[in-house]
């Protein structure tokens, strides 16, 4: 499938999902659910293999790289926040990363997931390239890890408003750190809705969670598996 | 004009992507290129090598449209037929519950111990 057609189709359906979400706030219209679903439907009807679509989507996937780099901007703009809260941020994210790995492991046992699912799932809270690296380190299936990372992102941005309501979370710091910690870049994108401070905290949590999880993956996970 | 500015700035941000690729290759840094690039742009801004106005509009666009760049990977899920099995459904449940636990506990800890000057 040609790159032009794929980009236009994807961008058009993405704009549509974004437009609908401004009118009705119903989780099924989330751009990461609604748009992929319509694309899958379209390529199935047109009898196009998913790999052909993916081959034409390189421009869009490529932009994920510069997009992660772009998060340096809100961090720089709120440098004073970083300096002031660096200790709290590091401790919070360290605890969060351990909770993420241990809860994935425990729940996977409870739900009797097969071993390659279980291992591939452990780094699901961190950003895609890092998660794939941890997955490879610990003997998981990186391709499966990408799927789990995406599902985590979707879950995270869908449940965030209810979680914050349930636990009576008011501060931008708590919202931002929780989003970046639990739902990586997709969570950080959600944090834009809560403000620039929340975005900064979320970015810091996302980067730090990635780095900490890599270290945990190399040092601690092998002790348990 | 705005679209053109955004476009140029997005192209400019690629400089950091390529620098990061080079550094990662030369020093075999155990971090992904994008995270190294993030640090490079951050320090370039801190040391005044790059002015905020040079990248801000492009960066804002990239961050705002981030979900668009994830869509192809989400479409790629159809290649994993395992997801449409009991294992797959259980896996999605594990992810949902796990994300709830991580998000809830992180937010709760911060809200509880954030101190007297919350942001």
Instruction: Choose the mutation target among A70, A109, A169 for the interface with B, i.e. most B CBs under 10 Å.
Output: A70
Helix (H) or strand (E) holding A96: helix A79-110
Residue A88 to residues A13, A195, A205, B54, B117, Cα–Cα distance (Å): 41, 20, 11, 32, 13
Task: Pinpoint the alpha helices (H) of chain B.
Answer: 2-27, 33-46, 52-64, 66-75, 86-113
Other beta carbons within 10 angstroms of residue B2's beta carbon come to: 8
Residue A161 to residues A151, A166, A189, A191, B104, Cα–Cα distance (Å): 17, 9, 14, 11, 11
Position A25 scores a pLDDT of 73
Q: Do A103 and B98 touch (CB under 8 A)?
A: yes
A96-130 burial, b if ≥16 CB within 10 A, otherwise e? bbebbbebbbebbeebebeeebbbbbbbbbbbbbb
Q: Which residue has the higher pLDDT, A133 or B119?
A: A133
Low-confidence ranges of chain A (pLDDT < 50): none
Position B117 scores a pLDDT of 60
Position B56 scores a pLDDT of 96
Position A1 scores a pLDDT of 67
pLDDT tens digits for range B28-73: 887 788 889 999 999 999 999 999 999 999 999 998 898 899 899 8
Averaged pLDDT of chain B: 90
pLDDT exceeds 80 at position B118: no
Q: How confident is the model at residue B119 (pLDDT cuts 50, 70, 90)?
A: low
Angle, helices A31-45/A142-166, rounded to nearest 10 degrees: 140
* Paired tokens of A43: 């390529």
Is the CB of B108 inside 8 Å of chain A's CB atoms?
Answer: yes
Q: Where are the domains of chain B?
A: 1-75, 80-119
**Which residues fall within 8 angstroms of residue B42, CB to CB, at 6 or more apart?**
A72, A75, A76
C-alpha Rg value of chain B to the nearest Å: 20
What number of H helices and E strands is found in chain A?
13, 0
Candidate from B37, B72, B82 with C-beta closest to A54: B72
pLDDT tens digits for range B91-101: 999 999 999 99
Burial (CB count <10 Å: 0-12, 13-18, 19+), residue B3: exposed
d(CA A21, CA A27): 8
Position B74 scores a pLDDT of 85
Q: What is the DSSP letter of B83?
A: G
Position B84 scores a pLDDT of 74
Other beta carbons within 10 angstroms of residue B40's beta carbon come to: 20
Position A103 scores a pLDDT of 93
Sign of the torsion angle spanned by Cα atoms A85, A217, A225, B83: positive
Position A138 scores a pLDDT of 83
Which residues 128-167 of chain A have a CB within 8 Å of chain B?
Answer: 128-130, 133, 143-144, 146-148, 150-156, 159-160, 163-164, 166-167
Q: Are B99 and A209 in contact (CB under 8 A)?
A: no
Position B79 scores a pLDDT of 82
Chain B residues in contact with A125 (beta carbon < 8 A): 98-99, 102
d(CA A215, CA A197): 27
Q: Do B119 and A69 touch (CB under 8 A)?
A: no
Is the CB of B99 inside 8 Å of chain A's CB atoms?
Answer: yes
């Amino acid at each position: 499938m040609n790159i032009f057609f794929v980009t236009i189709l994807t961008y058009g359906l993405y704009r549509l999902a974004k437009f609908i979400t401004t009118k009705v706030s119903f989780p099924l219209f989330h751009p990461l659910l609604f748009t992929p679903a319509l694309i899958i439907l379209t390529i199935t009807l047109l009898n196009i293999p998913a790999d052909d679509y993916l081959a034409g989507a390189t421009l869009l996937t490529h932009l994920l790289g510069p997009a992660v780099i772009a998060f340096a901007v809100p961090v720089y703009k709120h440098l004073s926040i970083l300096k002031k809260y660096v200790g709290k941020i590091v401790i919070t994210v360290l605890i969060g990363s351990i909770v993420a790995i241990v809860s994935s492991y425990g729940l996977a046992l409870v739900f009797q997931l097969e071993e390659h699912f279980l291992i591939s799932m452990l780094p699901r809270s961190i950003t895609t390239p890092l998660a794939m690296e941890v997955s490879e380190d610990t003997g998981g299936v990186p391709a499966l890890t990408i799927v789990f990372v995406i599902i985590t992102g979707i879950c995270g941005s869908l449940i965030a408003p209810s979680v914050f309501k349930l636990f009576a979370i008011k501060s931008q710091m708590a919202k931002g750190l929780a989003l970046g910690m639990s739902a990586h870049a997709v969570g950080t994108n959600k944090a834009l809705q809560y403000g620039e401070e929340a975005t900064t905290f979320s970015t810091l949590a996302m980067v730090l969670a990635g780095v900490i999880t890599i270290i945990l993956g190399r040092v601690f996970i092998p002790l348990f598996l | 004009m705005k679209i053109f500015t955004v476009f140029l700035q997005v192209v400019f941000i690629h400089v950091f992507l390529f620098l990061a690729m080079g550094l990662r290759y030369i020093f075999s840094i155990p971090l992904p290129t994008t995270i190294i690039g993030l640090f490079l742009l951050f320090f370039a801004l801190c040391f005044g090598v790059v002015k905020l106005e040079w990248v801000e509009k492009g960066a804002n666009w990239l961050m705002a449209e981030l979900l668009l760049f994830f869509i192809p990977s989400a479409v790629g899920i159809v290649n994993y037929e395992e997801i449409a099995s009991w294992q797959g459904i259980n896996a999605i449940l594990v992810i949902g519950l796990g994300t709830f636990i991580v998000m809830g506990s992180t937010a709760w800890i911060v809200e509880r111990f954030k101190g007297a000057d919350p942001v």
